[in-house]
Structure 1
Amino acid sequence: MRLDGDQPVPLRRDWTGWLFVLLAVAAVTGVLYANGERDGARYIARPHPVAPPADVVPDAPPMELAPVTEADARAQNAKIALITKGFVAARPFVYTGGGDAKARARDCLAAAMLYEAGDDARGQQAVGQVVINRARHPAFPKSICGVVFQGSERATGCQFTFTCDGALSRRYSDAAWQRARNNADLMLAGGTYPAVGLATHYHTDWVRPYWSDSLEKIAIVDTHLFFRWPGYWGTPGAFRGAVSGSDGPVAKLAAISPLHAIALGLPTDVAPADANAAVGEARVVIGAGAAAGRDTIYTQLDRKAAPESFVTTALRLCGDKPYCKFMGWTNPTLKPDSDAMTDTQRAAMSFSYLRDDKAGFEKALWNCSEYKRDDTRQCMKR
């Protein structure tokens, strides 16, 4: 109420100004919200990702993360629908190459499995399946090492973050590295991990890659989410690429894989840390049989080396030979120079490796009285 002359009259309020203020505040809030959405919140998955054209190979986006908190990422990831329609397990894959090429591919795959999933067999197999799926898909390189280290020359934007974020400077134990290599061998020999189907992408549930909106979530393994392209490029028909069987060396693996170091002309006894401690490489004395180019190698092994490293030594010395028999002793006085060995010498053998490509056979065995193995199938029979 206000006075107008002597008579009190009702106060009439002009809401025009207030309405303008409210509209301005709403506009500013909308802009700020949109900016916030652009910085991460907008990456809530679309209910139906758009399938790329079937006649154009889609680009493989790099692993770049939206700036959201772990809690927000988990909440947003949980809202992504799990697509089960059309889920198909991958066909078994057998690496076509042999010798050093196969061993280098094995070490590339093992590195991805170990550094992406840690020392966990199930997680490693899931990662290994994604790598193999990518190698078969036309959107990715056509070799195992090419897939794993795609984009690793960049400081950011690599496909697997461990290849460009400095993670390879860390060292896992010799035993963990060998377990990863064994798992990689299984994957390259026809082993599959059906739970992730034809997934070509994955991430942990506490991050939010920018590409999440454009793909279909098809599997969950512990804290990892697995994705495929919608439409044709996520169907079995798209996984038609022939995978190379001649993987070359990768410089970033030289410090932990002697096979990559040798192919690059780098010494295997020089690394950021002592090579024997870093990769468990055994020091050897090669017998006359190998020096003469024969298929049987008699070797003195370093008793202090990790027993898993004997496999690396055998693969390095056997090279590309289709047939190779490798036998090693840690006791130099009992190491023979030919197959004409005594029963005592044979019983003292510490490790053996036999490869016969013609028969499709490859086996590594340890003397379990000298080196205990968790899997008794790896023990020499006495």
Structure 2
Amino acid sequence: MLMRPEEPVVVPAASVAPWLKIVLALLALAAIAVPLLIVSTAPRVIVHKRAPVVISKRVVPKQELPPVEPVKLQQVAPDDARAINAAIPFSTLANPAARAFRLSGGADSQARAVDCLAAAVYYEAGDDAVGQRAVAQVIINRMRHPAFPKTVCGVVFQGSERSTGCQFTFTCDGAMLRYSPGTAAWERARDVSRMALNGSVYRPVGHATHYHTNWVVPYWSSSLEKITAVDTHLFFRWAGWWGTPPAFNRGYAGVEPNVSQMARLSPVHQGDTTNPLETALQGDGTLIDPATIPDSAVPNAVGAGLDANHFLVVLDRKMNPDAFAALAIKTCGERLYCKFMAWTDPKQKPARLPATPAQTAALSFSYLRDQAQGYAKALWNCQQYKRPSPIQCMRVQPPVAVAPAPAASPTPLPDAKAATGPATLTGVRRKADPAPAPARPVTLTLPAVKPVAAQASPPGN
């Protein structure tokens, strides 16, 4: 059975008492006024955004090499990042321009340097000539600083083998695989690169070694000195001595690595290499593939007292010195750190390190790899082997001082009293000798000797 809903009861307006209307109106007014009063008189509530992590600005002393931190950004919104960055004051100290740099080395090595720098300025600053010049100057500053690798490609691709360790994000975030510059844009980037590597200096950034856009906040930004801004990029240098011109005193390595990531953009970076941070060069600048070194030539003995990352080797005097670097690279294999020291004189090879000054002076070839620093360097003893460029030569060791032989002490005169034998002649009186005692007669009895007849010698004697 369905029930019909009851119809509402309509009360005529005329039947509502006037006093009730007033009460209802007051209640309605109170419902609006009371909340407004509470909001207007309540204490103001400040909503704090997530505070960024601030690194204390510790000035690294001259005796301590400053650490190179990987790129790591604080989690703040772009607008908040701009406010944080704007609150960091610019340094009031002088901002001198860097010295001009001029590229050296073989033709292929120079071409690799130009293309590595071109990739960095394009992917970091886009197709903007001013921004590209600023980025190029920072990379050259880093290459001259002891805290960074000593090649252009080594600086650009430092830490790129780790997704969280790269110094320039385009080298480890896949940007080079997602898009490539157009032909015209790539040539403009290469022009900027060539200028920077052949004497052009972008003065505004001074000796900056770090930079970032103003809409991000790296963890290191508050620990460095902010020195200038170029469009939306802020540039920083280390505080204290490590940010001054004398700190930028390291020489250019002169041999650029072959970086596999650059193969899509640069023909001089194409080809297989055993290590993306190194390559073995002949004297004429052409490559020697370490894979061509036979396994039988690879030393497997490590010097006594050394770990598995150190090799003390005697080289065959007949070996082509151009192949020394390839041998060292193959010997080091996949080691992240490796030190290869070689002598052609087996008598000079030490059994353990450290070597003596004489052994160091006799060193024929050395190779050092430090993957953490993006560094790989081969050096020849150019007093033993001529090289096409002095940057491949070891530093000339000062001559080893030979200790003078001790002076021969004069031979003492024989003691006349103690001497015996024919050196003393009896019966001869010296002026200083005491008078001899009277000699006693001595009687000698000799046995009788019979004469022996001469015998003929046996035949054949």
TM (norm. structure 2) is: 0.48
Write the distance in 2 (CA, Å) between the matches of 1:161 and 1:70.
18
Answer yes or no: is 1:130 the counterpart of 2:138. Answer: yes
Write the distance in 2 (CA, Å) between the matches of 1:222 and 1:129.
16
Counterpart for residue 66 of structure 2: 58
Answer yes or no: is 1:177 the counterpart of 2:186. Answer: yes
Write the distance in 1 (CA, Å) between the matches of 2:116 and 2:210.
18
Counterpart for residue 113 of structure 2: 105
Answer yes or no: is 1:189 the counterpart of 2:198. Answer: yes
Write the distance in 1 (CA, Å) between the matches of 2:272 and 2:183.
21
**2:159 maps to amino acid:** G
Counterpart for residue 234 of structure 1: 243
Are the aligned partners of 2:141 and 2:209 in contact in 1 as well (CA < 8 Å)? yes
Counterpart for residue 165 of structure 2: 157
Cα offset for 1:87?
Answer: 1.0
Identity %: 54
Counterpart for residue 261 of structure 1: 270
Match of 1:205 among 214, 217, 228: 214
Q: Determine helix, strand or coil for the equivalent of 2:83.
A: helix
Q: Determine helix, strand or coil for the equivalent of 2:153.
A: helix
Cα offset for 1:262?
Answer: 4.0
**1:128 maps to amino acid:** A
**1:105 maps to amino acid:** A
> C-alpha offsets along residues 156-193 of structure 1, whole Å, 9 cap, x if unaligned?
23100000001101111011001111110111111110
**2:211 maps to amino acid:** Y
Counterpart for residue 340 of structure 1: none
Counterpart for residue 12 of structure 1: none
Cα offset for 1:264?
Answer: 4.4
User: Once superposed, what is the RMSD of the aligned Cα atoms?
Assistant: 2.5
Counterpart for residue 233 of structure 2: 224
> C-alpha offsets along residues 193-223 of structure 1, whole Å, 9 cap, x if unaligned?
0010000000000000000111000010000
Counterpart for residue 155 of structure 2: 147
Write the distance in 2 (CA, Å) between the matches of 1:264 and 1:54.
37
**1:53 maps to amino acid:** P
Are the aligned partners of 1:96 and 1:244 in contact in 2 as well (CA < 8 Å)? no
Q: Determine helix, strand or coil for the equivalent of 1:113.
A: helix
TM (norm. structure 1) is: 0.58
**1:78 maps to amino acid:** A
Cα offset for 1:263?
Answer: 6.6
Are the aligned partners of 2:53 and 2:74 in contact in 1 as well (CA < 8 Å)? no
Match of 1:79 among 77, 84, 87: 87
Q: Determine helix, strand or coil for the equivalent of 1:50.
A: coil
> C-alpha offsets along residues 307-329 of structure 1, whole Å, 9 cap, x if unaligned?
xxxxxxxxxxxxxxxxxxxxxxx
Cα offset for 1:54?
Answer: 1.2
Q: Determine helix, strand or coil for the equivalent of 2:270.
A: helix
**2:94 maps to amino acid:** G
Are the aligned partners of 1:116 and 1:127 in contact in 2 as well (CA < 8 Å)? yes
Write the distance in 2 (CA, Å) between the matches of 1:158 and 1:171.
20
Write the distance in 2 (CA, Å) between the matches of 1:64 and 1:42.
12
Cα offset for 1:115?
Answer: 0.5
**2:222 maps to amino acid:** D
Cα offset for 1:60?
Answer: 0.7
Write the distance in 1 (CA, Å) between the matches of 2:101 and 2:169.
25
> C-alpha offsets along residues 121-149 of structure 1, whole Å, 9 cap, x if unaligned?
11111000000000000011111000000
Which structure's CA Rg is the greater one? 2
Q: Determine helix, strand or coil for the equivalent of 1:210.
A: coil
Write the distance in 2 (CA, Å) between the matches of 1:183 and 1:110.
7
Write the distance in 1 (CA, Å) between the matches of 2:88 and 2:109.
40
Name the one with the larger helix percent: 1
Q: Determine helix, strand or coil for the equivalent of 2:100.
A: coil
Cα offset for 1:94?
Answer: 0.6
Are the aligned partners of 2:146 and 2:249 in contact in 1 as well (CA < 8 Å)? yes
Number of residue-to-residue matches in the alignment? 232
Counterpart for residue 344 of structure 2: none
Cα offset for 1:36?
Answer: 3.8
Write the distance in 1 (CA, Å) between the matches of 2:259 and 2:218.
27
Answer yes or no: is 1:119 the counterpart of 2:127. Answer: yes
Write the distance in 1 (CA, Å) between the matches of 2:153 and 2:92.
30
Q: Which has the higher contact order (CA 8 A, sep 6+)?
A: 1
Write the distance in 2 (CA, Å) between the matches of 1:139 and 1:160.
16
Counterpart for residue 248 of structure 1: 257
Cα offset for 1:261?
Answer: 0.3
Write the distance in 2 (CA, Å) between the matches of 1:81 and 1:54.
24
Q: Determine helix, strand or coil for the equivalent of 1:202.
A: strand
Are the aligned partners of 1:94 and 1:188 in contact in 2 as well (CA < 8 Å)? yes
Are the aligned partners of 1:137 and 1:239 in contact in 2 as well (CA < 8 Å)? yes
Report which stretch shifted further, 183-192 or 201-210: 183-192
Are the aligned partners of 1:156 and 1:165 in contact in 2 as well (CA < 8 Å)? no
Structure 2 residues not aligned, in runs of 5+ = 1-44, 275-387, 389-461
Structure 1 residues not aligned, in runs of 5+ = 1-28, 266-356, 358-382
> C-alpha offsets along residues 66-89 of structure 1, whole Å, 9 cap, x if unaligned?
000000000000011111312111
